[in-house]
Structure 1
Amino acid sequence: MTTTDLDADQRIRRAIDVGREFLGVDNGVLSYTGDGRYEVIQTNIESGPYAEGGVVDLDGTWCRHVVETGETLGFADATATEYRDDVALETTGLNCYVGAAVDIDGETYGTLCFSDEEPRSDPITDHERDFVSLLAEWVGSELEREKHYAELRAQNERLDEFTGIIAHDLRNPLAGAIGFTELAREEVTGQPAEFLDRVQGSLGRMESMIAECLMLAKEGADVGERERIDLEAVVRDAWDTVRTRNATLNVDIAPETTVLADEMRLQRLFENLFRNSVEHGGSDVSVTVTGDTHGFTVADDGPGLPPAVVEALTAADVENVKSFGLGLLVVQRVVSGHGWDLTVDSSADGTRFEVDDVNAAEPIHEDLDD
């Protein structure tokens, strides 16, 4: 088993073992030193106050010097140094010590130290101090990474709560408003009917925007496990879900062409491309989808996109894409989430979205089954 097969706790424990072996001492400890206390986070010590989870007064430890100065401290025999009368010698019983600060995001988290009750016959060298410093820096990087992962997980949980609020607290009353507007529209004619048509259109747009926001919350992340999707089937399913009016769809996809993708996200991509073609190309626009094992294209014969939109999509400029509508942002997020390549060409004769390298990576679950 390599270090890449281990989780963060196991890798840190392995670092402690490596340090002990390198220095030839009995103990290795990763500590947290906030709030004037010394809390043992990981160690090989199995019992006593310095076992894992133990908490002692920082002022009674050798590590307080490291925390105060930020410098790596090391000696083979405390009694032969200026620390011979230090309180830590009595409270810890440790004669041999090497410790370095562990920093996270520029702040001192604690220390990584190695020690022994018995003095070491050989002095602690600069090379050994540097080694412990590097080891402490590596441990800090591991802890920092885990902290950021935890923060990301917390953000995702808050995002899930937010999307739940959108789905429930906004969609439910909106559905009621749409329903009652449709009923009222059947009972009136003339100008009131025209007003209700505008209300109905606005409510429909609100429903679409809410749906797109929910999609963005899910589709902004990288795609994990994928499956083989029938490309033509998902194209036709997407077309059926969009209000295409008098638009026409032409499909020219190689037989039995499949794409490694998340099926729902792939369908959302086609839905938003079709909706974009119809909204900007007119009710009688013609949309053509071609594809093979390398990728697919969605082209229309509409008036074309503004150059600023094409530039924003090509440069993956999220802020500018967002300003031109959520639909194209969904397209960009789905493409980037799969790790695909997107090319956009647009002129007065129409617009062409080309997605490449759709089968460049094998799905995770297939690798595991081999």
Structure 2
Amino acid sequence: MHILPRKTKATAKKGIHLASFLGRLIWLSVLPLIVLSLWLAVDALRSRQAQDRRQAGIIAGNFATDLDQYLAARTGALQMLANSPLIDDEARWGELYREAQSFNGFFGSHVILAGVGQPMRMLFNTRRPFGRELPPLPVPKGRAAAPLAAATGKAVVGDLFTGPVSKTPLCSIAVPVVREGKARYVLLTILESSQLQQRIDQRLLPAGWAISLLDSQGHVIAQRNSPRHQEVRAVDRVEVPSTVAPWKVLVEIPAATYQPPLVKLAIMLALGLVASTLVGVLCGSLAARRVGRGVRSLVHWEPEATCGIVEIEEAHELLEHATAARRESEERQELFIRHAPAALAMFDAQMRYLHVSQRWLRDYGLEGDVVGRSHYEIFPEIPEHWRELHRRGLNGEVLRSEGDRFVRADGAAHWIKWEIRPWRKADGDIGGIVIFSEDITGLKQAQEEIQALNEDLEIRVEQRTAELKAANQELDAFAYAVSHDLRAPLRAMIGFSQALREDCAAQLSDEGLDYLLEISTAGYRMGELVDGLLVLSRSLRGTLERRPIDVSAVAERLVRELERAEPERQVQWQVEAGLEVSGDERMIEVVLTNLLSNAWKYSAGAEPARITVRSEKRDDKRFICVEDNGAGFDMRHSSRLFKPFQRLHRQDEFPGLGIGLATVQRIINRHGGAMEAEGEPGNGASFRFWLPN
């Protein structure tokens, strides 16, 4: 136990006694307590007002969010009706009317279809039977939804007005029906103010508060307040605008809500001040006496004496415990460093070992106790640049390396990963350095072996690539030779079968003539397959030369060629302007020729036939799409689309060889792009390709 020395007369200093100081402190504390209490009262009132205002903002914001969702749902549903193809055919407006009635059944709001002229004539209104004569659409004062939607081409929520049919307060949401960039019609849904009143009545409000929904002209759409709300003066108003409509939600807090808490707070404050002052003086005096005795016993401490204050006695124990804790901390530090799973050593400013881990001793082959010995004495072979690193660390630098080569005195080479970090004493001066190191010789050897394996792998890949290239060239040459050499035998087979049929028809039976016809037909079919094989082998020949290609111009030229070939067909074409890709011009023309020819062929049974060439963005990639409304295909068999000589339709339905799409995919793959296809039987097909820039 550490004993504090007694004060003598020589060491005693003049000053105020502790008891007098504590007494004055108690009385001086009363005045700040009163000031603090007053300030707390004012702050509590302000906090109450701020809390109420935040709550009002939350209530208004929640209702505004609910209102926005309520309006957005109906706007989205109206947009779906506006995009319906039924609206473009006046003969099918009856079907559109029934879909609008479904809208009414789901949302509880009637739907109006109106023209865009002046006045705006109602074409149908789900409040009246379809075909009934209807008055013109009314134009309310302020923000009228229908004219504004027709003018801007965007969905608009209007202000409050009186409906000409229902004669009740209404609001409307108008969505323009835009075709070719112009508004052709306007779809409206009517919201009765009673519907919004029901939603506002469902809101929970503190007593005496009021909430209102106002349009852009300040007219009340729906409102909820106490019976005497209009007789009191509101002290706080919180407005939150709608993000969908030009409306706002207003929450009002009347002054009367603050009066009862204010009176209660004043009474509690007065009582609290009197009680706290009396209790503070009395308790402070008693505590001051005891604290004074305790402090005096702490200054004049004797082991046998007790002051009766646990904290003061514990203070003496803490002094001794602190000394023991410091000693234990040093022991734990030594234990931690010694058994750390890394090569770690701590040095003083003269590079003498202070602490060292077992891993350090094992990695560097050290035996015995090295604490207190110089690092340079143990390793005299350390080169000068390492000594310079130690000096830099002792000067305050933090140094590290991911791998250095170190040669031992016995000639053994090691790779070391290390870090040097200075440590500081209590006064802030550098007391030495800590070195962390790791022998990564095995890792370096493994990296060198991996590098050698990678180099060998690259050589093998280059060899395999060259072999594959040669094999592809031989395969193309073989395909060309086969297609070329088979022509003569096929011509002979077809020619002799025709000659036999013409010259010896009388000597042959009907069955024999049929056999000759089958031989001729098979020969012609074989010739077409040989031609297809030749086209497939030629599709990727030559050097790929990339350049910008005007896809729109190429597609329009190919379309005109198809129309000249079959002028009797009526096909609706749509080619998007400005389509461009980067690729080989000859190969991309082959791609477009095959895709457009397929669209032309497979849309022959559609009335009317439609073929579209457009762009589409998917996953940040711009695709060129060729679409038709023809026969389509079953997606379950889509894996066969791009295989040579594989067809999804019978030959008697749509003639062909089955190499067009295979050729297209080979060209797209050579460009490093991607090819996709979608289809549905009887509803057309869509082929998309993407090429990198």
Greater length-normalized contact order (CA 8 Å, ≥ 6 residues apart): 1
TM-score by length of 1: 0.48
Tell me which structure has the larger Cα radius of gyration: 2
